[in-house]
Amino acid sequence: MVAALAGVSRSTVSRVVNSSPKVTQDAIVAVTRAIEELGYVPNRAARSLASRRTLTIALVIPENTARFFADPYFSSVIQGIATQLSPTEYTLTLLIASEADPEKTRRYLQAGNVDGAIILSHHTDDLSYAQLAHTLPIVFGGRPTGDEAGDAYVVDVDNVDAARTATQYLIDHGRTRLATIAGPQNMAPGIDRLQGWRDAARGAGLDVGVVEAGDFSPAGGAEAMRRILSRGVAIDGLFVASAQMASGALTALREAGLGVPGDVAITTIDDDYFSQNAMPPLTTVEQPTSLQGATLADTLVRLIAGEHVQRVTIVPTTLIERESV
């Protein structure tokens, strides 16, 4: 094998491969060349078995979340993770956590199949994974709701702030009769964005009574919009907790013969196809999804390496002005 060609022992080859500091330059060169020549690639399983590391990171997506898979948000976060991991020696394993048998996923993670996990969470019950964090390095994408979440590693956007910014933008542009289409109130982003809307509206002394929740989907947004309209309360400003819902809301407004931004100004969150290609294009608060993915991966890799990393990383959001206000 390589050792023979390089004229050293297998141990030395191993040292070179793992870039141990205690190897002569000569040995490094010889081994490197031998590796090159033989096209040698170390066997993962053997390394894993001997070193008791798997060099594998799990990306856990709760099944209910997987249904939201069409959400560009996930695709983009995943892309960020995969890209960040690509130059490292870690491999990404996709795990769709079955709701029917949550233990299966937990066992898999517990069993030492991976060195760490990224949990892309959306729902309250993702908390169940928080306990795992005592056994295994885990980083959450999006704050998990619940009590034990306090000491979890999290990469998130400041949803309260994002919503506040979007709402304030409406207020700053003279809108005074506000409404919001909130997200599901059992998901952190849903809760936080409603909070942000309330903060801004209250801060301006406005009524915060006109609230309807949707499920983050276009259809849910349309339905919520119709419920708001059927209240018979005239509104002139609307904050929608996601661009997908906003696109549905636009449909409902159009049905009702209301113009945007003429009759109702709209701001939302997410800079995706939905906000970019809506009619009119939507003023929105962008969350850097791909960066969030990269940060998740980076945080986890450092965590596994035993480095000290901060528990909560907030990636910055940006207001993008378009034509819906």
Q: Given the rule CB under 7 A, which residues bind DNA?
A: 1, 7-15, 17-18, 22-24, 26-27, 40, 42-43, 46-47, 49-52
d(CA 120, CA 97) in angstroms, rounded, equals 11
Strand partners, 178: 237
Q: Which is nearer to DNA, 4 or 234 (CB)?
A: 4
> Considering CB distances under 5 to 8 angstroms, the limit depending on partner class, which of a second copy, DNA, none binds residue 13?
DNA
Q: Which is nearer to DNA, 1 or 279 (CB)?
A: 1
Residue among 119, 8, 100 at smallest CA distance from 58: 119
Residues 161-220 binding a second copy (CB under 8 A) are 218
Q: Nearest approach, Cβ of 23 to DNA (angstroms)?
A: 4
Place of tokens 């969030």: 292
Burial (Cβ within 10 Å: 0-12, 13-18, ≥19) of residue 195? middle
At residue 140, what are phi and psi to the nearest 5 degrees?
-100, 135
Residue from 32, 48, 124, 313 binding a second copy (CB under 8 A): 48
Does position 88 interact with a second copy (CB under 8 A)? The reply is no
d(CA 23, CA 150) in angstroms, rounded, equals 44
Residue from 3, 32, 102, 113 binding a second copy (CB under 8 A): 113
Pairing state between β 237-240 and 265-269: parallel
Q: Which is nearer to a second copy, 66 or 208 (CB)?
A: 66
Stretch that binds a second copy, among 19-27, 69-77, 118-126, 203-211 (CB under 8 A): 69-77
Residue from 27, 59, 191, 229 binding a second copy (CB under 8 A): 59
Residues 10-39 binding a second copy (CB under 8 A) are 39
The CA distances from residue 229 to 172, 194, 209, 259, in Å, are 23, 19, 13, 13
> Considering CB distances under 5 to 8 angstroms, the limit depending on partner class, which of a second copy, DNA, none binds residue 161?
none
Q: Nearest approach, Cβ of 101 to DNA (angstroms)?
A: 21
Residue from 214, 248, 261, 288 binding a second copy (CB under 8 A): 248
At residue 179, what are phi and psi to the nearest 5 degrees?
-140, 165
Q: Which is nearer to DNA, 23 or 285 (CB)?
A: 23
Q: Which is nearer to DNA, 22 or 308 (CB)?
A: 22
Residue from 209, 254, 259, 310 binding a second copy (CB under 8 A): 254
> Considering CB distances under 5 to 8 angstroms, the limit depending on partner class, which of a second copy, DNA, none binds residue 88?
none
> Considering CB distances under 5 to 8 angstroms, the limit depending on partner class, which of a second copy, DNA, none binds residue 91?
a second copy
* Contact residues for a second copy, defined by CB under 8 A: 39, 41-46, 48-49, 54, 56, 59, 66, 69-72, 74-76, 78-79, 82-83, 86, 91-96, 98, 107-108, 110-113, 218, 244, 247-248, 251, 254, 272-274, 276-277, 279
